[in-house]
Structure formats: C-alpha cells, structure tokens
Amino acid sequence: MNNYSDKIKSILTDLGLSLLSIVVALIVGTLFIFLTDKSPLDAYSALYIGAFGNFSAIANTLWRSTPLILTGLAVALPFRAGLFNIGAEGQLLMGGFTAGVVGFYFTSLPAFIHLPFAIIAGMFVGGLWGGLPGFLKAKMDVHEVIATIMLNHIAIALTINYGINIFRDTGRPATPRIMDSAAMFNFKNIMDHPFLSKLPFAELFAHPAIRLHINFFLALAAAVVLWYLLFKTTLGYEMRAVGFNPDGAEYGGINASKGIITAMFISGAVAGLAGVGEVLGTHFSFMQGMDAGYGFTGIAVALIGQTHPIGVILGGILFGALAQGGLEMQFSGIPSEIVMLIQALVIFFVAALQVFKVYLAKRKAKGGVE
Amino acid sequence: MKKVLSLAIVFAFVMMVVFAAVPAAAQDTRVGIVLSTGGLGDLSFNDAAYRGLQRAEDELGISFDYIEPADPSEDQTALRRFASRGYDLVIGVGFQMADSLRTVAGEYPDTKFAHVDQYFEDIPDNIVSLNFAEWEGSFLAGALAALTSENGNVGFVGGVDFALIHRFEGGFYQGARYINPDIEIQSRYADDFGDPARGREIALGMIDDGADVIYHAAGGTGSGVFQAAEEEDIYAIGVDSNQNYVAPGHVIASMLKKVDNAVFDTVKSVVEGNYQGGNNLYFTLADGGVDLTSLTEVGQPVLDAHDNGTITDEELETIRQMKENVTSPYADRIAEIKEMIINGEIEVENWGETGRPDNL
C-alpha cells in the first residue's frame, strides 16, 4: 500500500518537474522573441490558442501527435530491450508506401476488407523493415544503429525516389489518390456515421477544420498493447531482462535473440502504422514529405516519455501541441525560425531535466551513505 | 479667436481623415501566402513570390502575411487560417499544396485563391493557377548551350524525375537539337533538389564524357553544377532566378521564371477588381513570364551582388568579359529564335504533357 502511494507521488513529482522545465524553456524563449520586436505574451498566447484554444485546436493537436506517439513507441519498446532503433523513419516510409499502394491498387474491395488489409499490409512491411536489423543483430551481431540508419536510406530510395516514380499518374510527386474504401474515418464526417453521430457532443467534431482521424485511437491502443506486452507477459519480462543484462538473461535461460527479433519486428510494425495513418488518414496518398522526420522526432518523444508507453503518449501530445501551436505563432508574426527554436528549447529543457534528476538521485544516495 | 482656432483644428482633423482614408481604402486588400516547404531563402520560387508581394506592398499599398509550413501537414491549416480571417487573396506555392488549396477553396467560396506551379483539372471558380511555359525559356537555354559548346556535347541536370522538370528538359533538348541536330545531349536526374554534392558529381561525370555546357533545373542541387563548371572551367546555365553571379564567368545565362511578376499581376487584378478565377494561366515568352537573361548586359541582380559584396570588382569584370566574348556574339541569333517562338514559327513541345520520350 505504502509502495503504491510512493509510486503515485513520484509520478506526480515527475509531471510537476516536466511542467516546470517547459515553463523554464518558455522563459528562455522570450529572449529570442524580443529579437523579433513582438510581444512574448502575444506569441505564447498564440501558441496556447493554436494548440488548445478551442475544440478543433485540441482535436488537431491530437491529430498532429498521432504519428509522434507511434514513432515514440517504436523507439521505446526496443529501448527497453537494450536496442536503439534509429530506423523508425524508414519503417514509417515502408509502411506508409505499402498502405498507399494497397490503397489505390485494389479498386473494388469493400471498405471493411480494404482498410484493414491496407493497415495490416503496411504494418507488416514496416515490421519486416524493423525485424531485419533485429535479425542481423541477433544472429550476426550487426549493430542495430548502423543497420537501421542504412535501412533508412534504402527506404527513402525505394519509396520516395523510386516507388513514387513507378506509380505516379500526374506531375505531383505522390502515388495516386487512395480509394475511398481504404481511407481512415475522419471525425469531421462524424454526422454521416450511423453510430458515432448518436454520441453526445458528436456535432462538435463536425467542423471542416478538424483533421483528427481514427489512427489516434489506434495509437492509443498500440500504447496499451505495448504496455501490457512489456509489463504483464513473459515475453515482455524477457525483453526487459535482455535489455537490463543480455548475458545474465541468456545465463538465466532466456532466448535473447528471440526477444531482440520480436521487439524489433513489433517496433517496425508500430512505426509502419504511423506511416499508414499519415497516408490513409491525413494525405490520402503516399507523397514526398509525408514522413516529416517523425521517425527522428520519435526518439525525443520516447526519451521524454521515459520509454514508458503512457509517458510516450504524453510526450507525443506535447510535441503535437508544439507543432500545432507553432503554426499559430507564425500567424502572430513570429518567424518560423524562432518558432522552431522555441520548440527545440522545450525539448532541450525537458531532456536536461532527466540529467538533473539523475544528479539529484546521486546526491540523495550519497547523502544516505553519510 | 478661440473659435477660429477650434474651427481650424476641426478642419485639420477632417482633412486628415479624408486624406488618410485614400490610402487606407487601398490597404484594405490583405494577401496571405503559404510558401512551400523549404521556405524563404531558396533563391527560387518562394523568394520570387515574396518579391512579388513586396512590390505589390510598395506599389499597390496592399498588406501581406506569409507562413512557412514546417511540413506538408500544415499546408491545409495555414491556408484555412488565412481564409477564415477574411484575407482577400490566399496564395499557395508549390505542387504539394494543390490538393489542400482545392479543399480549402471549396470551404470558402467567397475568398479568392491563387496557386503557383500546378495545373488544375476542373479548376474551381475561386482559384487562379499560375503556370509557366518553362519549355519555351529552356528552348532558348538549349539553343544557347548548343551555340557555345565547342565539343558538340551539352548536359542537363534535373532535380527530380517528374513532369514539371520534364518541361525544362524537353525545352532544352529541342533547343539544342534545333541548332545542331547531331549534338550529344547528356541528361541525368539527381533525385533531390537540395544536394549540391550530388549535383557536382553528376556534372563532373558529364564533363568527363565531353560536356562543356550544362543547364540545370535542380534547385539547390544546381550550386554543385556551378561548382563543377568552375573547377573544370566549362560553362553552365542557371535557372528560375538570375544566377549569373554565382561561379563568376562560368554561368553564361539563366532561364528566368518570373513568379514575382505573376504574383504581382494577380494581386493587382484583385486590387483593381478584375480577378478572374477558374483559370489556368500560362506565362510565356510572349508576355515575359519566362525569359533568358540578357546576353549582352550583366544585369541588375549581378550589379546588386557586386554592390552588397557577394562578388568582387575583379569577378564583376570577369563576368563582363565573359558576356562580351562568349555570349554577345549569339545575342542576335537567340533574339531571332525567341521571336520565332513567340510568333509560332517554332513550336516547342511541352514534355510535361506529351511525356518524356523513352529513347533519349
């Protein structure tokens, strides 16, 4: 019982410190806003209003956070198994591209087959793209950082440079538009839905500016599944044991290569789902630029979320809010460079906080000895 | 006395209001522009569009705001914010924005929209699409390349292999063949608009195979082409903006795509009340929408680059001599070809629509 309340206390302290570091970042950011002759107050109220100011802003913050939550998870899971997945970007591209091709290629499938088929195909290919470096690591001891970085380059060449050119039908650097039967449900169309339109407050969603689609809920589901996998199953226990001490785990009878390959496959599938959602829910075709560096931002999301699935959701929403609110800051006259700088400051201070906490813990431990 | 004074004050006030009202009425026109990813500083169409709006601000008294989206997901939101805030004209730049612009234009049928660089099928009544006949300008570039080449071997470096860049390639190809039917034309794509190192490698490879004039339509990748031209002492042709001051003495001309003029004209049509939506406009050689930089004069952008210290006195002199010795002998010939394109004696095929032949 005491243990339980201690846990809640430490989580609350964590959250409080995270908020504090965001505040510190914004205070440092004011220095840069002064350079632009604009009022920091206007700039930050624009940031807030853009991200949380009204219902559609909140919905769109969640929309922007969707791929970030997924790539964050894709980095967090292997991290727990002692692996650094730099390859979420490539896995996202492969998954998104596959979903995009399945989405336009099959022209006469009913939606209840076409959409799940496109999602699963994308996740599977993303999973293979993650599983391959897992396999190389487990069987041949190829370092996963090298392998995933190289696979990122191959994925960019295969999808953006080569893949789009095979299928393109207009001047736009994108695959053809997907069939409606493969499109993810968008909440702005909620009033057309037979069941969802009956929900209370459903009409709030029926605004053309809302871009939130069901992939956000798939991302939440993925977080719950990964949490269950990591902390409630034997496989998860084994993965964490491998991450904690691979030799010890092996000695204790755990099959380390199985854990490594599985963790990387699942991680690739989750990153693939990020790409699938962007293609089937946001852009409706696989287009150049759809990846937007989510695979790399995902590394920061995972670390800020302390590689815990619930933390990753919060980290993803923080980054989504910065992206969504950042655009509004530009409307208040802050140049995009300063907006990016403030976004980077927030990340920097939240990350620096982790270092500070380690320092505190060390001091505490030292004090305990004396 | 007091009465007179107060009357004078009232009179002054009235006059202020009356005269202030004149420019204020013009200032009512607000323009919002969403630039393409890459944003300002691309020395290409984002900068050009911005220049057009600055000119409109100076000459027409409009006001404008711009947004540089961090990634394509922001395009729609940014366009919608401008439209929902009652801007009179909302402009989107770059092919990636076309779908988003169409969506938002559908939501705000009373707002006027313009788009740079993408042809619209079934174009809505509140969009005007600004396109450029790059193939005509590139034809002149190809002709000039063929005239100046001593080896009878020229090169084309494209950014990404797709329809828009095929327009440049096609024009260049036809222009070079027009001058010399036996000329060898090397053509390569960098698959990237922002990779100068790749541009340099491709150009060096072409030079190795004998090319001595290289034209590029590859954005930032092109600066690598210029670098290679300087290293190997051959000639290059720039694109979009006047790039003649880069690699002084080696860039013999640039194919201009006057996005600034097109944007300015569109803003002007809105201010003057004769905006005509539902049109795909093409700016051509005939109306100066595309052109080749002067073959005899060094040109204002080069002089500006000299004034702000980008190039030295010596380099300016090098450019001047290059103009005199290399390009001015062909000025009349190129002017003649330009005239023939304008009056239809030469018909330049648009590879963006007819497709790039497979057997190049």
Give the DSSP per-residue string, B153-219: EEEEEESSSSHHHHHHHHHHHHHHHHH-TT-EEEEEE-S-SS-HHHHHHHHHHHHHTT--EEEEE-G
Q: What is the CATH number of the domain that holds B53?
A: 3.40.50.2300
Average pLDDT for residues B325-346, to the nearest whole number?
Answer: 95
What is the dihedral angle through the alpha carbons of B227, B230, B234, B240, rounded to the nearest 10 degrees?
Answer: 50
On whether both B100 and B205 belong to a single domain, the answer is no
Residue B279 falls within a domain, yes or no? no
Q: For residue B209, what pLDDT is reported?
A: 95
Mutate to test the interface with A, among B40, B162, B188, B193 (most CBs of A within 10 A): B162
Q: For residue B26, what pLDDT is reported?
A: 47
Q: Tell me which of B73, B98, B132 is where a domain ends.
A: B132
Q: For residue B2, what pLDDT is reported?
A: 62
Do the Cβ atoms of A92 and A126 come closer than 8 Å? yes
Residue B196 falls within a domain, yes or no? yes
Q: Tell me which of B132, B154, B179 is where a domain ends.
A: B132
Contact B161 A211 (CB under 8 A): no
Residue B113 falls within a domain, yes or no? yes
On whether both B46 and B150 belong to a single domain, the answer is no
On whether both B206 and B312 belong to a single domain, the answer is yes
pLDDT band at A203 (very low <50, low <70, confident <90, very high): confident
Q: For residue B21, what pLDDT is reported?
A: 45
C-alpha separations of A289 from A96, A114, A162, A285, A349 in Å = 12, 25, 14, 11, 28
Average pLDDT for residues A41-46, to the nearest whole number?
Answer: 91
Contact B65 A172 (CB under 8 A): no
On whether both B296 and B193 belong to a single domain, the answer is yes
Do the Cβ atoms of B246 and B223 come closer than 8 Å? yes
Whether A145 has a pLDDT exceeding 60, the answer reads: yes
On whether both B203 and B316 belong to a single domain, the answer is yes
Q: Which two tokens stand for residue A280?
A: 């089937």
Whether B148 has a pLDDT exceeding 60, the answer reads: yes
Tens digits of residue pLDDT in B218-261: 988 999 999 999 999 999 999 988 889 999 999 999 999 999 99
As a whole number of angstroms, the distance between CA A1 and CA B342 comes to 87
Closest-CA residue of A relative to B76 is: A209
* Average pLDDT taken over every residue of chain A: 90
Q: Tell me which of B113, B132, B151 is where a domain ends.
A: B132
Q: For residue B249, what pLDDT is reported?
A: 92
On whether both B178 and B252 belong to a single domain, the answer is yes
A54–B contact, CB cutoff 8 A: no
Average pLDDT for residues A169-195, to the nearest whole number?
Answer: 88
Do the Cβ atoms of B296 and B329 come closer than 8 Å? no
Q: Which two tokens stand for residue A95?
A: 């998954």
Q: Which residue has the higher pLDDT, A223 or A206?
A: A223
Query: What three-state secondary structure class fits B292?
Result: strand
On whether both B63 and B154 belong to a single domain, the answer is no
Q: For residue A370, what pLDDT is reported?
A: 42
On whether both B185 and B293 belong to a single domain, the answer is yes
A233–B contact, CB cutoff 8 A: no
List domains and CATH numbers for chain A: 65-318 (1.10.3470)
**Strand duo B112-116 + B153-158: pairing:** unpaired
Average pLDDT for residues A62-84, to the nearest whole number?
Answer: 95
**Sequence-ordered list of residues with C-beta below 8 angstroms from that of B75, at least 6 positions apart, any chain:** B34, B69, B92, B96, B97, B100, B101
Query: What three-state secondary structure class fits B131?
Result: strand
Domain containing B294: what range? Answer: 134-257+289-354
Q: For residue B25, what pLDDT is reported?
A: 45
Average pLDDT for residues B157-186, to the nearest whole number?
Answer: 93
For chain A, the 3-state helix, strand and coil shares in percent, each to the nearest 5, are 80, 0, 20
As a whole number of angstroms, the distance between CA B128 and CA B356 comes to 27
Average pLDDT for residues B99-119, to the nearest whole number?
Answer: 93
- Which residue's entry shows tokens 């030292």? A366
Smallest Cβ–Cβ distance between A331 and the set B37, B81, B98 belongs to B81
Contact B72 A331 (CB under 8 A): no
Look at A303-317, A338-352, B218-232, B303-317 and tell me which has the smallest mean pLDDT: A338-352
**Backbone φ and ψ of B195, nearest 5°:** -125, 80
A190–B contact, CB cutoff 8 A: no
Q: For residue B299, what pLDDT is reported?
A: 87
Contact B67 A327 (CB under 8 A): yes
Q: For residue B7, what pLDDT is reported?
A: 62
Do the Cβ atoms of A133 and A87 come closer than 8 Å? yes
- Measure in Å the smallest separation between the Cα of A290 and chain B Cα atoms: 7
End-to-end CA distance of chain A: 29
On whether both B242 and B226 belong to a single domain, the answer is yes
Whether A127 has a pLDDT exceeding 90, the answer reads: yes
Whether B17 has a pLDDT exceeding 80, the answer reads: no
Contact A168 B162 (CB under 8 A): yes
Q: Which residue has the higher pLDDT, A347 or B142?
A: B142
Q: For residue A165, what pLDDT is reported?
A: 80
- Measure in Å the smallest separation between the Cα of B79 and chain A Cα atoms: 11
Residue B294 falls within a domain, yes or no? yes
Any bridge partners for residue B63, and if so which? B30
Average pLDDT for residues A41-60, to the nearest whole number?
Answer: 93
On whether both B128 and B138 belong to a single domain, the answer is no
Contact B81 A328 (CB under 8 A): yes
Q: For residue B24, what pLDDT is reported?
A: 44
Average pLDDT for residues A255-282, to the nearest whole number?
Answer: 95
**Strand duo B279-283 + B127-132: pairing:** parallel
Closest-CA residue of B relative to A162 is: B191
Whether B170 has a pLDDT exceeding 70, the answer reads: yes
Burial A341-360 (b: 16+ CB within 10 A, else e): bbbebbbebbeebbeeeeee
Residue B2 falls within a domain, yes or no? no
Q: Tell me the three-class secondary structure of B210-248, residue by residue.
A: CCCEEEEECHHHHHHHHHHHHHHCCEEEEEECCCCCCCC
* Average pLDDT taken over every residue of chain B: 89
Contact A171 B80 (CB under 8 A): no
As a whole number of angstroms, the distance between CA A116 and CA A350 comes to 37
Whether A132 has a pLDDT exceeding 50, the answer reads: yes
Q: Which residue has the higher pLDDT, B353 or B285?
A: B285
Residue B262 falls within a domain, yes or no? no
Contact A208 B73 (CB under 8 A): no
Contact A283 B164 (CB under 8 A): no
Residues 287-316 of A with CB under 8 A from B: 287-290, 292-293
On whether both B73 and B209 belong to a single domain, the answer is no
Q: Which two tokens stand for residue B140?
A: 């002149």
Cβ neighbours around A249 below 10 Å, total: 22
Q: Which two tokens stand for residue A349?
A: 């201070």
Tens digits of residue pLDDT in A287-337: 988 988 899 999 989 988 888 999 999 999 999 999 999 999 988 888 888
- Which residues in chain A touch residue B118, judged by CB atoms under 8 angstroms apart? 171-172
Q: For residue B143, what pLDDT is reported?
A: 97
Average pLDDT for residues B275-301, to the nearest whole number?
Answer: 92
Whether A211 has a pLDDT exceeding 50, the answer reads: yes
C-alpha separations of A346 from A52, A57, A331, B136 in Å = 17, 20, 20, 50
Q: Which two tokens stand for residue B198?
A: 């790749």
How many cross-chain Cβ pairs, A to B, lie less than 8 Å apart?
Answer: 76
Tens digits of residue pLDDT in B110-125: 999 999 988 888 999 9
- Measure in Å the smallest separation between the Cα of A194 and chain B Cα atoms: 24
Average pLDDT for residues A347-353, to the nearest whole number?
Answer: 81
CA B321 to chain centre: 27
Smallest Cβ–Cβ distance between A289 and the set B77, B96, B118 belongs to B96
Look at A161-175, A314-328, B151-165 and tell me which has the smallest mean pLDDT: A161-175
- Of A19, A79, A23, A13, the C-alpha closest to A360 is A13
Average pLDDT for residues B282-309, to the nearest whole number?
Answer: 91
Average pLDDT for residues A150-163, to the nearest whole number?
Answer: 92
Do the Cβ atoms of B43 and B243 come closer than 8 Å? yes
On whether both B79 and B20 belong to a single domain, the answer is yes
Q: For residue A273, what pLDDT is reported?
A: 98
- Which residues in chain B touch residue A320, judged by CB atoms under 8 angstroms apart? none
- Measure in Å the smallest separation between the Cα of A202 and chain B Cα atoms: 21
Contact A289 B74 (CB under 8 A): no
Domain total in chain B: 2
What is the dihedral angle through the alpha carbons of A21, A25, A28, A30, rounded to the nearest 10 degrees?
Answer: -130
